Amino acid sequence: MERMLMVAGGPLSPDHLYQEIKDYSSRIMAIDSGAATLLRMGIKPDVLLGDFDSLPATDLEILLRDGVEFLRFPAEKDQTDLELALEWAAKQGVRELRVWGALGGRLDHTLANIGLLLKGAQLGLTVWLVDPHHEIRVFENYLHLTAKPGWAVSLIPLFTAKGVLTRGLKYPLNRETLHFNEGRGLHNSFVAEEAEVFVEEGTLLLVCFAEVLDQTGGSMP
């Protein structure tokens, strides 16, 4: 499975991003002003995509001079830069994406980016939206999780999920139906080193989160 790391232009922690780049070998795509963050960190992306309405012209010149692969789109378009990036990645044979800088900031952007997790799944991609305290993805049918100290999980249906069964979590679900307008799947804790979630019908949004928000973040398989 080919992995790719994407860095978008929203809020992020350079220290945590640097640690992920150090720990996981993968290609890096900068999405528009996400390139500015990488340049300040001394990191050159492999691919640059966007309409570049928010990337300083000097940063763009530096990256073009360094020979970074360059994918430019018009500012007035029907898709966001992240949506275009997912489509491009799928065509390149990428199967797993970890996206930084897509959570926080403007609420409409955050909600739209969470919605794009469904688009990623339709394209055959496993997409994680990541910040120091959250790792978010969607899934159907089955998911295996490895516990990490200090982290918990929420399971949010999009928009009804039937036959949800969990193993290895403190508050078990036994083939239950979860609804988007209810909080049944929120905040569950690990009671084993591994956990499993089975879904008979529907899609779940998995939110892995640090229970203590100033705790150092990290990766969750």
Q: What are the pLDDT digits (tens) for 10-53? A: 999 999 999 999 887 789 999 988 999 999 999 999 999 988 88
Can you list the domains of the chain with their CATH numbers? 2-132 (3.40.50.10240), 139-210 (2.60.120.320)
Q: What is the mean pLDDT of residues 129-133?
A: 95
Asked whether the beta carbons of 80 and 97 are under 8 A apart, the reply is no
Tell me: the pLDDT tens digits for 161-174?
999 999 999 999 99
E-state strands within the chain: 2-7, 27-31, 47-50, 69-72, 94-100, 126-131, 134-139, 142-146, 151-157, 160-167, 174-179, 194-198, 204-210
pLDDT of the residue at 56: 85
Peptide bond connecting 159 to the previous residue in cis, omega within 30 degrees of 0: yes
Asked whether the beta carbons of 99 and 134 are under 8 A apart, the reply is no
pTM of the model: 0.90
Asked whether the beta carbons of 126 and 89 are under 8 A apart, the reply is no
Residue written as token pair 């496993």: 126
**Percentage of the residues of the chain whose pLDDT score is greater than 70:** 95
